[in-house]
């Protein structure tokens, strides 16, 4: 097996030593790994080139969710398998897809060649593997990135500080949600759209039971003020939210349109913030990514790469 191993130099646990260790782990499994150390700004081009390169059995992304999202965008519907070595801070997609967090175990899974097809989602043509949001969360992402850049804070600490700042600058957006023929005007501080169904509380994301059910989920709290938002958050922790009064929740839909009077909205997708023209068009792309997984996670009859 020959793979293109693309390592994000800006990944949460990146080091030159780690990259060399990965190369050795692949060699120990009998895999010829073409190692490329890539700056974050160049990842999209690196994965796009690897998706079309001849003589490769698969592409392997070593990094966090942002790196994996970029790789998925390049490999979507290509039929070329993607292997994942989780090196990020949280690694939500790898966890939910059954990829081992341990690098040696992840490499062994890639070498095993078992594959499964998983879903991707997109907003206005931009692919995401986990989730997208409008409102407070994009504000938090921008504030977190500014702290990391200027102050060198860890991702977790920067996000905690950003969350407090977001609450201080609490605001709501008037949006109209269109899905399955239904239309719902809402005012919300936060609109969340997930690739498949998430377990959620108001201030935290849980796991997904599956990443291949071909569905989106939407969640939007109807908080009227900062205090009300915090009250809903506390009530959500003990399962006391009222779906009609406290939040909008959609499950099992394939497409969602989000309208706003604003010509553009700040939108997060897998932790990256972009400005997109409205309306926002979300859709699921069922079984769009061929993923290398441990044999016990293989859930389809897709043949392994030769």
pLDDT at 303 (0 to 100)? 46
Q: Is 136 helix (H, G, I), strand (E, B) or coil?
A: helix
Please answer whether residues 58 and 64 qualify as being in contact, where contact means their C-beta atoms are separated by less than 8 angstroms. Answer: no
pLDDT at 287 (0 to 100)? 97
Walk me through the domains of the chain, giving residue ranges and CATH numbers.
2-113 (3.40.50.10330), 127-285 (2.60.200.40)
pLDDT at 247 (0 to 100)? 75
Name, in order, each residue with C-beta under 8 angstroms of 204's C-beta and a sequence gap of 6 or more: none
pLDDT in tens, 125-181: 999 999 999 987 766 666 666 666 777 776 667 667 656 666 677 778 899 999 988
Alpha carbons 76 and 210: distance in angstroms, whole number: 18
306, burial (CB in 10 Å: exposed 0-12, middle 13-18, buried 19+): exposed
pLDDT at 155 (0 to 100)? 65
- Six-digit token string for 273: 């913030």
Label the pairing between strands 198-201 and 204-208: antiparallel
pLDDT in tens, 155-164: 667 667 656 6
Label the pairing between strands 255-259 and 32-38: unpaired
283 versus 172: which is more confidently predicted?
283
pTM of the predicted structure, to 2 decimals: 0.85
Label the pairing between strands 2-8 and 32-38: parallel
Name, in order, each residue with C-beta under 8 angstroms of 60's C-beta and a sequence gap of 6 or more: 3, 4, 5, 6, 33, 82, 83, 84, 85, 110, 292
- Six-digit token string for 303: 């043949």
């Amino acid at each position: 097996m020959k793979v293109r191993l693309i390592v994000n130099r800006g990944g949460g646990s990146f080091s030159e030593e780690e990259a060399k260790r990965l190369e050795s782990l692949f060699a120990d499994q009998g895999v010829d790994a073409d190692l490329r150390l890539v700056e974050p700004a160049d990842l999209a081009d690196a994965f796009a080139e690897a998706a079309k390169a001849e003589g490769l059995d698969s592409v392997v992304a070593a990094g966090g969710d942002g790196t994996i999202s970029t790789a998925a965008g390049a490999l979507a519907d290509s039929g070329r398998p993607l292997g994942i070595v989780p090196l990020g801070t949280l690694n939500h997609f790898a966890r939910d897809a059954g990829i081992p967090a341990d690098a040696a175990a992840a490499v062994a899974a890639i070498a095993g060649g078992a594959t499964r097809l998983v879903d991707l989602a997109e907003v206005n043509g931009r692919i995401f593997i986990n989730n997208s949001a409008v409102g407070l969360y994009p504000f938090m992402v921008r504030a977190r990135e500014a702290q990391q850049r200027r102050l060198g804070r860890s991702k977790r600490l920067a996000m905690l500080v950003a969350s407090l700042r977001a609450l201080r600058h609490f605001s709501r957006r008037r949006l109209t949600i269109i899905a399955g023929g239904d239309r719902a005007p809402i005012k919300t501080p936060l609109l969340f759209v997930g690739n498949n169904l998430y377990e959620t509380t108001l201030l935290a994301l849980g796991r997904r039971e599956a990443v291949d059910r071909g569905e989106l989920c939407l969640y939007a709290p109807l908080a009227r003020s900062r205090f009300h938002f915090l009250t809903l958050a506390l009530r959500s922790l003990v399962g006391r939210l009222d779906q009609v009064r406290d939040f909008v929740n959609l499950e099992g839909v394939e497409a969602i349109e989000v309208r706003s009077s604003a010509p553009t909205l700040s939108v997060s997708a897998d932790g990256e913030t972009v400005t997109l023209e409205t309306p926002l068009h979300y859709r699921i792309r069922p079984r769009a990514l061929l993923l290398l997984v441990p044999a016990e996670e293989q859930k389809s009859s897709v043949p392994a790469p030769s």
